[in-house]
C-alpha cells in the first residue's frame, strides 16, 4: 500500500490468481495429432521440428507482475507480487531463482532496481520512488535470471504514473479543460480504414468474412458506418463497427471486380478506401467455436483440383492437431479441444513445402476460466474502520478449486490512474503476446475477461497476425548452453599470502556455517539454489587467521548488460495501434 494515506470515498480491488494444472498437460497436447499416410507423417515431423526450433528462442519463464496500483507519488513504495509459469505447459514452475525488477523513466534511465529471490515460482518485492522524482509516465521492467538468455522482447513491462497529489486533483477536477481527452480536435485527422479477410486470403466466388477497423493517426479507434460498392458504384453491402471498434462484413467477391468502402458523414464525403483485390484461385479459411470444447474449421477452394495441403493447430508453440488435406471445393473439420487448456491457438493451412497459405488466430476453450468471487462485510466504511473480504474461487461449473490469490486495495483517487490500463494475469498468460500488445487502449482498460466471446473473436481477427514463416526457420539441432546467472561471486583481493583459502558464510535463519572454496582466480561462487529456502540474509565471517582479514572481500553479481540495455528499449512501447495488412504470401 502507499506510504501516504488519503481519505477517499471509493476503493478498487485488483487481484491475480494461479490455476493449478496437471502434470499430464504435455501428453494431452499431442493427443489430437493425426497421422495419415507417410507423406503426412513426414510433414508432421518436419512441422514439429520447426516448432521446436522456434521454441528454443522462447524462454520457458513466463512472468507476470501484480503491482499494488498504477499511480504513485514521490516517496511511495511500489509493492508487487511476481508469478512465473512454464510458457509451454502452463504449470507454475521455474528453474530460475532470481527476479530482476527495474523502475525506468521515459528516457530509459534506471530510477531504482533490485533483485529478489524466487521461491516456488513466486516472489515478493518492492521498488522505492524517490521523494524528488519528476512527474510523468514510468515503466516497471522485470525478467528472470533464465530469461536473460533470450530476446529482451519477452520481458515483462507495465506502465505506471508518478505524480504529486495536488496535480492529480487538478487534473481530475470537473471542468478542467486541460485534462487529457477532454478536448476534441478541431478538425478530423486522416483516417486509416483497412479490411482484413479472415485467414488472410480473398478468393473470387467464395463468400468470406472480412474484419475491418477504423483508426486515427494517433492510434485512437473510431466507430463508423458505411457502404461497400464495386468499381461501377453498385452497392454490395453495408457495414457497422461494434462497440469495441472493429467490425465484420461478409460477401462473395466477383472475379475482376474491385471494391471500395465509403463512410457515412459529411466529413468523409468523397473519400474512398480500397478493399483487397480478390484472387482468381486459392483457398479461404473460416473458423468458429461450435460449443464448449468444439471448434469447426471450414476450407473453401476455387480452381485447386489435384492440389493438397497440410492443416495444423498449434497452442503454446506445440502442435496439437495436424492432417493431410485434399479437396476440390469444400472441406469441413470438427475437432474437440476440451482436453486442452484455454489459450490462443494458430490454425494454419500450409502447402506441401510448408509455406503458409492461410491462417487464423482463435481462442480455445474460453469457458475454462476460474471465477473469483469477492464479498465485503460492509459496502462502505469510514477511515479507521475494518472490513473483511471473503474470497472463493470456482471453475466454470461452480466447483471450488485451489488457487493462490494476491489482493491490492487501491485508493481510486490517489492510487489509480485511468489513462494507464493495469495488466491482467489472465490476459498475459492466455492470450498471444503480440496480439495483446497491439490491442487499443479501450479494450485493455475494460479487460479481456469482461468482454464476451463473440467480441474477443472479432478482436482476434482484427489484431492478430502471423508470427513466423516456417521456411525462414533454419533448423539447428545443436544444443545451446544457457548461461547461469543464479549465483554471486565473492572476490578476495590483496596479496596472495593474504588470500583466504575459503570463504565462510552464515545466515540469520540458520546457524550452519557454509564454506566456499576459493579458486586460482581468488574467487568463490555461491549458487543460490544451494541455500536453504528460508535464508534471506547471509554474512561473510572473518577468517581464522587475522592477517587474511586485512584484504578486502568484494561481492560481484553476474549480469548481462547487453540484454538489460535492449530490454530497457523494449520497455518504452507506443500505446497507439498501427494496423498491419494481414497478407499470407
What is the rounded distance in angstroms from the CA atom of residue 219 to the CA atom of residue 463? 13
Per-residue confidence (pLDDT) for residue 547, from 0 to 100 = 80
pLDDT value, residue 15: 45
Percent of the chain with pLDDT over 90: 47
Contact 263, 193 (CB under 8 A): yes
When divided into structural domains, the chain yields a total of 2
CATH of residue 245: 2.60.40.10
Confidence band, pLDDT 50/70/90 cuts, at residue 469: low
For the CA atoms of 216, 275, 198, 447, what is the dihedral angle to 10 degrees?
10
Give the range of the structural domain holding residue 553, as residue numbers without chain letter: 487-558
Chain Cα centroid distance, residue 192 = 26
223 in a domain, yes or no?
A: yes
- Residue 218 in domain: yes
Q: How far apart are CA 30 and CA 25, in angstroms?
A: 9
pLDDT of amino acid 468: 53
Say yes or no to pLDDT of 167 above 80.
Answer: no
Q: Quick: pLDDT tens for 527-584.
A: 998 888 878 788 888 888 888 887 788 899 888 999 999 999 887 653 333 333 333 3
Model confidence at 115: pLDDT above 50: yes
Let me know if 47 is exposed, middle or buried by CB neighbors in 10 A (0-12, 13-18, 19+): buried
DSSP state of 400: B
Cβ 29 vs Cβ 337: under 8 Å: no
Instruction: Give the H or E element holding residue 367.
Output: none
H/E element, 393: strand 389-394
Answer with the one of 224, 254, 274 that is the final residue of a domain. Answer: 274
Reported as type and span, the H/E element at residue 111 is strand 110-117
* Per-residue pLDDT, 175: 44
Look at residue 358 and tell me if it is in a domain.
no
Nearest to 12 by CA among 490, 408, 306, 566: 408
In which region does residue 549 sit, left (phi positive, over 0), alpha (psi from -120 to 50) or beta (all else)? Answer: alpha
Cα 173–441–573 angle (5° rounding)?
A: 105
Output the nine-digit C-alpha cell for 158. Answer: 507495465
Q: Over range 196-218, report the average pLDDT.
A: 92
Q: Is residue 347 part of a domain?
A: no
Q: Judge whether 16 lies within some domain.
A: no
Alpha-carbon dihedral angle through residues 226, 228, 233, 234, given to the nearest 10 degrees:
-110
- Please give the pLDDT value at position 573: 54
User: pLDDT at position 581, please?
Assistant: 34
Q: How confident is the model at residue 499 (pLDDT cuts 50, 70, 90)?
A: confident
DSSP state of 446: H
301, 278 Cβ separation under 8 angstroms: no
Q: Compute the half-sphere exposure of residue 547: CA atoms within 13 Å on the CB side of its CA.
A: 6
Going across the sheet that includes 122-128, the strands are 61-67, 77-86, 122-128
Mean per-residue pLDDT of the chain: 83
3-state secondary structure of 168: helix
pTM: 0.81
Which residue(s) pair with 210 in the sheet?
A: 197, 249
Q: Is 432 inside a domain boundary?
A: no
Query: Rounded to an integer, what distance in angstroms lies between the CA atom of residue 73 and that of residue 135?
Result: 8
Nearest of 198, 243, 249 to residue 222 by alpha carbon: 243
CA atoms within 13 A on the CB side of 125: 26
SS3 447: coil
Q: In what order do the strands lie in the sheet with 514-517?
A: 514-517, 502-507, 538-540
Which of 274, 302, 332 marks a domain boundary?
274
User: What per-residue confidence (pLDDT) applies to 472?
Assistant: 65
The answer as to whether 226 is a domain residue is yes
Nearest to 163 by CA among 127, 128, 138, 126: 138
Mean pLDDT of 366-390: 85
Gap between the Cα atoms of 171 and 146, Å rounded: 42
| Under 8 Å between Cβ of 193 and 272 | no
Tell whether the model's pLDDT for residue 174 goes beyond 60: no
With respect to residue 497, please indicate whether it lies within any of the assigned structural domains: yes
Determine contact, residues 14/405, Cβ cutoff 8 Å: no
Q: What is the pLDDT of residue 495?
A: 76
Of 247, 285, 286, 193, residue with least CA distance to 459 = 247
Among 274, 297, 329, the domain boundary falls at 274
Amino acid at each position: 500500500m502507499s506510504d501516504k494515506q488519503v481519505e477517499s470515498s471509493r476503493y478498487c480491488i485488483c487481484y491475480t490468481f494461479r490455476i493449478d494444472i496437471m502434470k499430464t498437460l504435455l501428453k494431452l497436447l499431442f493427443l489430437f495429432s493425426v497421422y495419415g499416410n507417410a507423406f503426412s507423417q513426414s510433414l508432421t515431423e518436419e512441422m514439429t521440428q520447426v516448432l521446436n526450433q522456434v521454441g528454443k528462442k522462447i524462454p520457458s519463464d513466463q512472468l507476470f507482475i501484480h503491482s499494488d496500483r498504477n499511480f504513485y507519488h514521490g516517496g511511495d513504495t511500489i509493492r508487487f507480487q511476481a508469478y512465473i509459469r512454464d510458457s509451454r505447459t502452463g504449470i507454475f514452475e521455474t528453474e530460475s531463482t532470481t527476479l530482476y525488477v527495474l523502475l525506468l523513466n521515459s528516457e530509459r534511465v534506471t530510477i531504482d532496481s533490485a533483485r529478489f529471490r524466487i521461491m516456488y515460482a513466486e516472489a515478493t518485492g518492492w521498488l522505492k520512488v524517490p521523494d524528488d522524482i519528476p512527474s510523468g509516465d514510468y515503466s516497471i521492467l522485470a525478467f528472470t535470471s533464465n530469461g536473460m538468455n533470450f530476446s529482451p522482447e519477452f520481458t515483462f513491462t507495465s506502465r505506471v504514473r508518478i505524480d504529486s497529489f495536488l496535480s492529480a486533483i487538478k487534473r481530475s477536477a470537473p471542468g478542467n479543460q486541460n485534462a487529457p481527452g477532454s478536448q476534441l480536435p478541431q478538425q478530423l485527422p486522416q483516417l486509416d480504414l483497412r479490411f482484413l479477410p479472415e485467414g488472410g486470403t480473398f478468393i473470387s466466388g467464395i463468400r468470406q468474412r472480412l474484419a475491418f477497423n477504423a483508426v486515427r493517426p494517433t492510434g485512437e479507434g473510431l466507430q463508423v458506418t458505411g457502404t461497400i460498392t464495386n468499381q461501377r458504384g453498385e452497392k454490395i453491402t453495408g457495414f457497422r463497427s461494434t462497440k469495441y471498434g472493429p467490425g465484420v462484413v461478409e460477401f462473395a467477391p466477383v472475379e475482376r471486380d474491385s471494391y471500395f468502402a465509403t463512410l457515412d458523414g459529411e466529413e468523409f464525403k468523397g473519400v474512398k478506401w480500397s478493399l483487397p483485390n480478390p484472387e482468381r484461385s486459392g483457398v479461404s479459411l473460416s473458423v468458429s467455436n461450435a460449443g464448449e470444447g468444439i471448434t469447426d474449421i471450414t476450407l473453401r477452394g476455387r480452381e485447386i483440383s489435384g492440389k493438397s495441403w497440410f492443416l495444423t493447430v498449434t497452442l503454446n508453440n506445440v502442435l496439437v492437431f495436424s492432417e493431410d488435406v485434399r479437396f476440390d471445393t469444400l472441406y469441413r473439420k470438427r475437432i474437440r479441444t476440451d482436453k486442452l487448456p484455454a489459450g490462443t491457438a494458430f490454425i494454419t493451412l500450409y502447402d506441401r513445402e510448408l509455406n503458409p497459405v492461410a491462417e487464423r488466430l482463435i481462442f480455445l476453450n474460453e469457458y475454462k476460466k476460474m471465477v473469483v468471487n469477492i464479498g465485503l462485510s460492509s459496502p462502505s466504511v469510514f477511515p479507521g474502520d475494518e472490513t473483511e473480504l471473503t474470497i472463493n474461487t470456482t471453475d466454470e461449473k461452480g466447483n471450488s478449486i485451489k488457487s493462490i490469490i494476491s489482493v491490492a486495495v487501491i485508493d481510486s483517487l490517489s492510487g489509480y490512474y485511468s489513462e494507464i490500463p493495469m495488466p491482467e494475469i489472465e490476459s498475459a498468460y492466455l492470450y498471444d503476446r503480440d496480439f495483446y500488445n497491439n490491442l487499443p487502449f479501450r479494450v485493455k482498460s475494460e479487460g479481456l475477461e469482461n468482454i464476451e466471446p463473440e467480441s474477443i473473436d472479432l478482436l482476434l481477427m482484427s489484431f492478430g497476425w502471423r508470427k513466423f514463416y516456417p521456411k525462414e526457420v533454419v533448423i539447428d539441432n545443436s544444443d545451446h548452453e544457457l548461461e547461469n546467472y543464479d549465483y554471486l561471486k565473492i572476490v578476495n583481493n590483496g596479496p596472495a599470502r593474504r588470500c583466504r583459502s575459503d570463504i565462510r558464510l552464515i545466515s540469520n535463519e540458520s546457524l550452519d556455517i557454509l564454506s566456499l572454496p576459493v579458486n586460482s582466480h581468488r574467487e568463490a561462487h555461491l549458487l543460490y539454489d544451494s541455500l536453504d529456502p528460508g535464508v534471506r540474509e547471509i554474512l561473510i565471517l572473518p577468517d581464522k587467521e587475522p592477517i587474511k582479514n586485512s584484504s578486502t572481500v568484494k561481492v560481484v553479481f553476474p549480469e548481462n548488460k547487453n540484454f538489460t540495455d535492449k530490454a530497457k528499449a523494449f520497455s518504452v512501447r507506443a500505446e497507439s495501434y498501427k494496423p498491419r495488412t494481414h497478407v499470407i504470401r
